[in-house]
Amino acid sequence: MTLLAELVAASARVARESGRLEKVRVIAGCLRALCPTELEPGIAYLSGEIPQGKLSLGHAALRGAAGTPSNGSGLTLLEVDAAFGAIREAKGKGAAGARAARLAALFARAAADERDFLVRLIA
């Protein structure tokens, strides 16, 4: 399983590179390392998108999750994808609170650079 940290590092390298060919090389290397089940979320995240679409999370939920104490253990791509799916599925009465709680649980396991990446991805 691929760690989100690997994708975050590739994204940071792409941002630092000025040459298009080097950017393509970094992205291609990152994608080649992914398992087939990780390709869809990996491509989406590197493109700045979320496969599930809009998560209906407000700025207050993002701020609250970002302030959650972290054990910094790190996340896998598939864990993030599953968490985003669970957030998207929250509907009905109390859905905003449920989405915020699920996001906070995800952020509690994320390292600092992963949190930053996830906030930018969601926002």
Q: What average pLDDT does the segment 107-112 reach?
A: 92
pTM above 0.85, yes or no: yes
Tell how far CA 70 is from the center of its chain.
15
Partner residues linked to 3 by β-bridges: 76
Residue 29 — very low, low, confident or very high, per pLDDT cuts 50/70/90?
very high
How is residue 49 written in tokens?
């998108």
DSSP string, 51-111: TT------HHHHHHHHTS-------BHHHHHHHHHHHHH--STTHHHHHHHHHHHHHHT--
> What's at 58, amino acid-wise?
G
Residue 9: φ, ψ to 5°? -65, -40
Structural contact between residues 11 and 18, judged by C-beta atoms closer than 8 angstroms: no
